[in-house]
Amino acid sequence: MRLSATELFMLGQCAISAAYQAGHLIADYAQRKVSVDTKRNGGSLAAQVVTEVDHLSQEIILQILRPSCDRFDLALLSEESPDDGERLRKDYFWCIDPLDGTLPFIEALPGYSVSIALLARDGAPLIGVVYDPLTQTLFHAITGRGAWRNRQSLTLPATTPSAQQTLSFLTDKSFVEDPLYPATLTALKRIAQELGYAGAELKLQGGAAMNACQVLAMPPACYFKFPKPQIGGGSIWDYAATSCLFRETNASVSDMGGKPLVLNPTGTTFMNHCGVLYCADPAIAEKLISVYRDLTQS
């Protein structure tokens, strides 16, 4: 089965509706005390925490998307449900993170969102929707149609490094525990200097989806997550929607080796083994890939 452009547009509107409704629920709970639990898998605290809001948001999203699964024979993969393997058998699947950035949510900090994507079985992102309930900002993209921010076309300006600009790097809070953290700080400053920026700023914040969206919203910027041997951390649903956004804006998205992200791997949903790299400017991506290679080979 092959989805037409009209069908993709209709499914995109369905995903937007689901993201809005789930986002409204999340916003309603943002000022309340919520119950927090932990998952057995996952390495960092951010990967382990789960709340009642994660589950309630997922229920809303699935209620809206399930009719499309019946009509178009789509599989479903969502963070708070077991992986039934249907994503490897059907032509397309929904990939859902009902509350990306649970840790900043329970800490009452910015950086959480609803993330919904439609992927082909080969992992190609066809639809990407990210909704920020805090600022009521919607990012969405449909393959071949472009990307939008709050219904306004989202395009990246030509990047010209300036000695008056600071180059921003974003990553997870847990990066401070990485043995490469001190050397990476030094390397980021060097990258900024070599590219002609005033300096570098490392922001330890937010969930994966909003960190990637910040790269598009406030260039020059880069979001990275280094590979790690421990199982856990980033999974398909953390990167699927934003991969579509980056493709449609011609921004750079890859693993930390510069290879395309594999968004429908067999055997696991985790992507800790390869890391991720989102950059508005490919020149920044090339520099950081080189830095990571040097740091891990020294």
Average pLDDT over residues 72-94: 97
Candidates 158, 125, 154; CA nearest to 138 is: 154
Tens digits of per-residue pLDDT, 159-185?
788 888 999 999 999 999 999 999 999
Please tell me the distance from the alpha carbon of residue 115 to that of residue 291, in angstroms, as a whole number: 30
Which H or E element spans position 292? Answer: helix 282-297
Same domain, 178 and 227: yes
First to last CA, the chain: 49
Same domain, 285 and 245: yes
Binding residues: 79, 97, 99-100, 238
Which residue has 């993201």 as its token pair?
19
Tens digits of per-residue pLDDT, 221-263?
999 999 998 887 699 999 999 999 999 999 999 999 999 999 9
Domain, as residue range, for 200: 166-297
The more confidently predicted of residues 150 and 42 is 150
Angle between helices 181-195 and 282-297 (to 10 degrees): 140
Give a yes or no: residue 159 inside a domain.
Answer: no
Candidates 90, 84, 88; CA nearest to 72 is: 90
Contact between 128 and 144 under an 8 Å Cβ cutoff? The reply is: no
> In sequence order, what are the residues at sequence separation of 6 or more whose Cβ sits closer than 8 angstroms to the Cβ of residue 43?
174, 228, 230, 231, 232, 233, 272
Binding residues for Mg(2+): 79, 97, 99-100, 238
Q: What is the CATH number of the domain that holds 260?
A: 3.40.190.80
pLDDT interval class at 37 (50, 70, 90): confident
Give a yes or no: residue 273 inside a domain.
Answer: yes
Confidence check: pLDDT of 40 > 80: no
Same domain, 23 and 113: yes
Same domain, 114 and 204: no
The confidence score (pLDDT) of residue 260 equals 98
Percent of the chain residues past pLDDT 90, beyond the cut: 87
Same domain, 139 and 10: yes
